[in-house]
Amino acid sequence: MAVDHAVLSDLAAAELPIDLLELSYQNRLRVIGRFIDESELHSITLIEVAQGFVLRASRAVEPWPIAIELGDRKISELMRRSIGARGEGEIERESRELLPTGYEDMLRALGHELDQRIAESVVITELPSLFAVTGFEPFVAAGVGETSYRPFAEVFGPDETRILLHKALGRRGSYQPIQRYIPPNFRG
């Protein structure tokens, strides 16, 4: 998993665990979620593109969405800001049934699930009653033995998001390194 060396010294100074450096979905989506919370955006669609994401979201009282490029450099900057803001207290977040604790927690939890799937090229779109998550995941075709990729899609309504957030809360403070995917044809 790639790390951003630009924030290494910040982490060392703050005596924070090195896993915060990983450019995992969990870490990237968490800081994007924080950015959304801070910017008071809603109705998001987050589209992964080469070297980053495009965030399309609406502002508080304006339906027309804005599109923001969140390239890897911008995400690293958000990670650095997030690390710097630790201990400064919680930011105000709007609470809704689908997002009881805001976007940061929700996207962090979704990011963990995506890391577990070794997902790629994901899209997260929010509707009033659900989050839909699509992307590609590796699989081994039966009888072929070679790793290939297939599209996947999940829908998270209020019940599923509650479960997701509950699981994420249970993981807090217990670092579990992301299991790296080793295609079967690379196993010794």
Partner 1 sequence: MRRLLDAERSDTQISFRERLRAIGNLLDARGFHAMVIAEVEGGMLVRASRKGSRHPEIIEFVDGDPLPDETPDPRVEVRRRLFPGGYAPFLEALGARLDRRRAIAITIVEGTDFVTVGGFAPLPVADGSQIYETLDLLLLPEDIRELVERGVASELPAAAGPAVVERAPTGAPEPAVPDQNSLGAALASFTRRLGLVRPQASRLRG
- Residues near partner 1, by CB under 8 A: 43, 45, 47-50, 54, 56, 58, 61-67, 69, 97, 120-121, 123, 125-130, 132, 134, 136, 149, 151-153, 155, 157-158
Nearest approach in angstroms of CB 178 to partner 1 is 19
- Of 19 and 136, nearer to partner 1 (C-beta) is 136
- Of 46 and 79, nearer to partner 1 (C-beta) is 46
Nearest approach in angstroms of CB 154 to partner 1 is 8
- Of 21 and 75, nearer to partner 1 (C-beta) is 75
Number of H helices, E strands in the chain: 5, 6
- Of 66 and 85, nearer to partner 1 (C-beta) is 66
Residue 81 CB-density burial (10 A; 0-12 exposed, 13-18 middle, 19+ buried): middle
For residue 31, the SS3 value is helix
Q: Count the neighbouring beta carbons within 10 Å of the beta carbon of residue 156.
A: 21
